[in-house]
Amino acid sequence: MRRRNLAPNKKICGFMTKGKREGATEAELGFLKEIIRMLPAAVTVLDEAGDFLLVNDTAAAQLGMQGEQLAPDLNQRRAACLQALQDGRPVVAEEFLNDGDARQVLLTTHRPVRIADRNLLISASTDITGQKTFEDQLFRSAYYDELTGLPSRRVIEHRANALLKNDGAGRFALAFLDIDNFKHINDYYGHSVGDALLVEIAKRLSRDLRESDILSRISGDEFLLLLHPVVSDLEVAEFMQAALKRLSAPFFIDGSEVFASVSAGVSLYPDHGRSFELLRQNADIAMYRVKNEGKGAAAIFDAGMEREATARMKIEQSLRLAILEKRFCCAFQAKVDIRTQAVQGIEALVRLRDNDGVIQAPGSFVNLAVELGLIDDLTHLVLAEIVRSIDAINEMFGPEASISINVAASQAGNPEFMRSFAQALEETGFPKRFMIEVTEDAFVTKTRFQSEIVPMLRRIGVGISIDDFGIGYSSLSALADITADEIKIDRSFITDIHKRPRSQGILRAIESLSEALGMTVIAEGLETFEELAYLQAATRIRYAQGYYFSRPVFLEELRSAAPRTSESRVSIAGRLPQQTRPTYSRAQGYRR
């Protein structure tokens, strides 16, 4: 077996183990100097007189030494070295050098040595500027908000806790502020304007604060404000009112005039809580009340609000439970051809069976479901019920009838949900019968609905309908950019249309634009014969939906109302060959 030669290079070994040999040769010393010169660490050697005996290349560069010229930093280094030499002990210290605007941080080890009766100091430094910058960033991100530069939640919490511990600190107020409809602003103007708005709002809010007050951004569009000291509720209320008023003046950002408003809830220590968490929670409850009562104002917490919050909590819990237990069902409302009375399609409208078995309309829970992130599950439940009932649907409304499902605007702009929903629609085996109803906001705000989701639905043959048109944020001119199959004119335009010339004008404009763009127009909420007569006589609108034809109904209701429907459709069609589609008549309601 061959032995490996483990002996190190003899010559280098000679330098390292100086004691074993008499001394280094000239060549060896030159070699050693060369190594020291090239070291990436800065090395200097200083004698007792303060003269540098050695400054390697890295040290010269770090200390800004040109030729024999001593830079100011070198003098600073000399003073530090002389001190270390006097102390006679090794030291490790951080050094700060200024190079123009840039600041350099060095970690330096000074080691006094005695060589040939001389006291010398060997100093070696490593540049740790990068590491320091990183540490600073970490510190800042833990304690400051990067966007606005405001202190973080931790800072305000720490300060509040300090006040809570200090008996003599007295009263203080905690205000929870939330920008109204910030999501709309972000969607409409884009995120960079949204960010700039946050910065401007932070500036305006900070303007009138005292040294002892703290404003912090705690997340997205939420701020927390600590006011200390405070004397009375009135003083706090007045301050908040003035602050919110300042925010109502327009912001000029990126060439746009942006209007914003903020809702605020305030709690006071010790009146509304003796811990930071409770005070924050109660300020949040007060803020929630403002949001529900029209936004853009401030309210101070009171006990009544707490009761409300508890009641709301109960509703939330029961909604979560209802989703878990799938206690939802659908009512169906027909879209009717106003000339032939034929059912062109149906819309599924979700209903909730509450804890007491009472049926609730979506007005009481859909927004809450959106807020709680439960709406996606709910929409899948609606689709599942349609699939389960498809035979009955075909029997009642005909196998050709399109089936519309409502999708909230927030879902429509969420590609992840829409992908899963499109897949579920495709898996039904009859995706072409479906139509998705979304409000116009989904089209005009800067979400990915139009660019990504519409093409995805088109690929599988699902139709797209604009619901409640005319009451959202879009303008008529925005219609030109929208690619939808159907447009449903909001009930507010249809009600008493025969008596309202202005609505008639709007209707005509929507009608001709939609026609030019190839969209089917549906009048929503048609309730009276007069409204129908107007549509028939004065417009080319073909379809309508409304109580005049039928309220939303459950399939079971329809079955029991029309006993003949228990017979098969084929036999009915056989008896009434001229009518292949079900129709509505005003007098009898549903009729075949």
Which residues make up the interface to Mg ion (CB under 5 A)? 406, 437, 467-468, 524
Phi, psi of 336 (to 5 degrees): -115, 140
The least CB distance from residue 528 to ligand C2E, in Å, is: 9
Closest distance to Mg ion from the beta carbon of 296 (Å): 27
Q: Which is nearer to ligand C2E, 174 or 408 (CB)?
A: 408
Give the dihedral of Cα atoms 13, 14, 15, 19; nearest 10 deg: 120
Interface with ligand C2E (CB under 6 A): 333, 349-350, 361-363, 366, 375, 379, 382, 406-408, 437, 467-468, 491, 525-527, 545-547, 552
Calpha distance 154→162 (Å, rounded) = 12
Per the listing, tokens 């930093």 go with: 73
Residue 362 C-beta: closest distance to Mg ion, Å: 10
Q: How many CB atoms lie within 10 A of CB 208?
A: 11
For residue 394, count other CB atoms closer than 10 A to its CB: 15
At its nearest, how many Å lie between ligand C2E and the CB of residue 406?
4
Closer of 35 and 361 to ligand C2E (Cβ)? 361
Contact (CB, 8 A) for 127 and 62: yes
347 to each of 130, 136, 143, 303, 587, how far by Cα in Å? 62, 58, 51, 43, 22
Single out the residue of 143, 168, 157 nearest to residue 277, CA to CA.
157
Find the shortest distance in angstroms from Cβ 277 to ligand C2E: 34
Residues 456 and 428 sit within 8 Å (Cβ to Cβ): no
Nearer to ligand C2E, 218 or 438 (CB): 438
Residues 6 or more apart whose Cβ sits within 8 Å of residue 157: 276
Give 307 or 419: the residue with its C-beta nearer to ligand C2E.
419
Distance between CA atoms of 287 and 264, rounded to whole angstroms? Answer: 5
Placement of tokens 């309601």 in the chain: 589
Backbone dihedral angles phi then psi of residue 451, each to the nearest 5 degrees: -80, -35
Nearer to Mg ion, 366 or 456 (CB): 366
What gap in Å lies between CA 149 and CA 463, rounded to an integer? 47
Residue 489 touches which member of Mg ion, ligand C2E, none, C-beta under 5-8 Å by kind: none
Closer to ligand C2E by CB, 63 or 494: give it: 494
Q: Using DSSP, state whether 175 is helix, strand or coil.
A: strand
Q: How many CB atoms lie within 10 A of CB 8?
A: 9
Query: Which of ligand C2E, Mg ion, none is residue 366 near (CB under 5 to 8 Å by kind)?
Result: ligand C2E
Q: How far apart are CA 169 and CA 154, in angstroms?
A: 20
Residue among 285 and 386 whose Cβ is closer to ligand C2E: 386
CB-wise, 155 or 366, nearer to ligand C2E?
Answer: 366
CB nearer to ligand C2E: pick between 305 and 532: 532
Q: Which does 382 bind (CB under 5 to 8 A by kind): ligand C2E, Mg ion, none?
A: ligand C2E
Q: How far is the CB of 259 from Mg ion (least distance, A)?
A: 27
| Smallest gap from residue 525 Cβ to Mg ion (A) | 8
Please state the φ and ψ torsions of residue 43, each to the nearest 5 degrees.
Answer: -125, 130
Radius of gyration of the chain (CA): 38
Report the C-alpha gap between 283 and 58 in whole angstroms: 58
| Least Cβ distance, residue 369 to ligand C2E (angstroms) | 8
Residue 538 CB, shortest distance to ligand C2E, in Å, is 19
C-beta separation of 340 from 583 below 8 A: yes
